[in-house]
Amino acid sequence: MDSVWKSMKCGIWVVAALALIGCAGVGGGLKVAMKQESYAPAFRADAYKQFKGKTVLLYNFTNNAANTKAWGYYSADKKVYYEAPVQLESYLWSCFQKAFQHAGIKILDQSAGYYGQPYNPYWWGYAPPPQARAALPKNTAEFQFTLNSMTDQECKFQVLISKNGETKLQKDFTVTAPPPRSAEDKGELEKGAYRLVDQMVTAVFNDKDFQKAL
């Protein structure tokens, strides 16, 4: 009986430990779920009237940020982990798509695949051969995004714009945000994550070199 009871106690401890892990983020702390479906651009679209009608291909989003995980990023103090339902670069791609469309920018329909290739929304890094590039409509801006660092208070990334086969812009951006008012309110922390995306997008939109390149 003693051995059975010990086995039962061991099983209870294992279940309890797994439950605690499920409530915590990667590496411990609070986990906040971000959803691209829940992101709604909050910036004023009429502030970017010059972009209305422009066509953009959101071509390649890459995560090179060593301080992130595949599916999310941490708060500056490492106590909160913000997790997306898809890989972080895919989450940002979807949010940027929404933000660009909110500003009146036409996102090139990729349902048939870009450059005549089979479409896969999470297959990043595909480099089309030169002969296939003619399939891209003339004057369509290709937008490439590389994430270099990200926390809930600072984000560093690079944007590359090319058009008609020529590089028009390659620029680094740094966006900062104030500390969250509450480190325990998941709802407020999630809203803060979406505000950070807004800041990233508007930092690009407000850039004079980006405006010329688009």
Question: 50 lies in a domain?
Answer: yes
Indicate the SS3 state at residue 108.
Answer: coil
Question: 3 lies in a domain?
Answer: no
Q: Which two tokens stand for residue 82?
A: 């913000």
Is pLDDT at 107 greater than 50 in this prediction? yes
Question: 168 lies in a domain?
Answer: yes
Question: 170 lies in a domain?
Answer: yes
Overall average pLDDT of the 6-11 stretch: 46
Is pLDDT at 112 greater than 60 in this prediction? no
Q: Rounded to an integer, what distance in angstroms lies between the CA atom of residue 24 and that of residue 132?
A: 46
How many domains, in total, are found in the chain? 1
Q: Which residues, 6+ apart, have CB-to-CB distance to 13 below 8 Å?
A: none
Q: Look up the domain containing 92 and give its range.
A: 32-213
Indicate the SS3 state at residue 40.
Answer: coil
**pTM of the complete model:** 0.79
**C-alpha to C-alpha distances, 169 to 6, 80, 160, 163, nearest whole angstrom:** 66, 34, 5, 10
- Per-residue pLDDT reduced to its tens digit, 51-93: 999 999 998 899 999 999 999 999 999 999 999 999 999 999 9
**Using the 8-state DSSP alphabet, how is residue 118 labeled?**
P
Question: 20 lies in a domain?
Answer: no
Question: 21 lies in a domain?
Answer: no
Q: What is the CATH classification number for the domain harbouring 132?
A: 3.40.50
Question: 15 lies in a domain?
Answer: no
Indicate the SS3 state at residue 188.
Answer: helix
Is pLDDT at 190 greater than 60 in this prediction? yes
**Using the 8-state DSSP alphabet, how is residue 183 labeled?**
S
